[in-house]
Amino acid sequence: MSDWVEACDAEDIDEEDVMRFDHEGRTFAIYRSPDDEYFATDGLCTHEKVHLADGLVMDDIIECPKHNGRFNYKTGAARGAPVCVNLRTYPVKLDAGKILIQIG
């Protein structure tokens, strides 16, 4: 599987922030960590299908804007109530200033 998709420019996302990326009917969230690494997960919270990109990034945590469900966006691990289902993550790479994710 080598279905890499270009999502955005690396500079489109601030450090310790998140951006929404929609592709072929699917929605993803792309993160830039405080130490300047990029990550990608499914775009919707596993609790109530809310867009995580409206949420707050703190260190390696994304917090859902609706009910404060938390995930580690690097691993997708759910971090406590009300979320209990992990978030799917996707490989990310940087190529000539562009963010690519492997949506598989």
Letters for 55-84 (x = contact with other proteins by CB under 8 A, - = none) are: xx------x-xxxx------------xx--
Cβ contact 8:94 at 8 Å: no
Of the two residues 12 and 16, which places its CB atom closer to other proteins in the complex? 16
With CB under 8 A as the contact rule, which of the stretches 2-10, 19-27, 28-36, 53-61 interacts with other proteins? 53-61
- Sort strands 89-90 and 38-42 into parallel, antiparallel or unpaired: antiparallel
Choose between 45 and 100: whose C-beta lies nearer to other proteins. Answer: 45
CB of 34 to other proteins, least distance (A): 11
Contacts to other proteins from residues 16-45, by CB under 8 A: 16
* φ and ψ of 43, to 5 deg: -85, -15
Q: What is the DSSP string of 32-92?
A: E-TTS-EEEEESB-TTT--BGGGSEEETTEEE-TTT--EEETTT--B-STT--SPPPEE-E
Binding site for other proteins (CB under 8 A): 16, 50-51, 54-56, 63, 65-68, 81-82
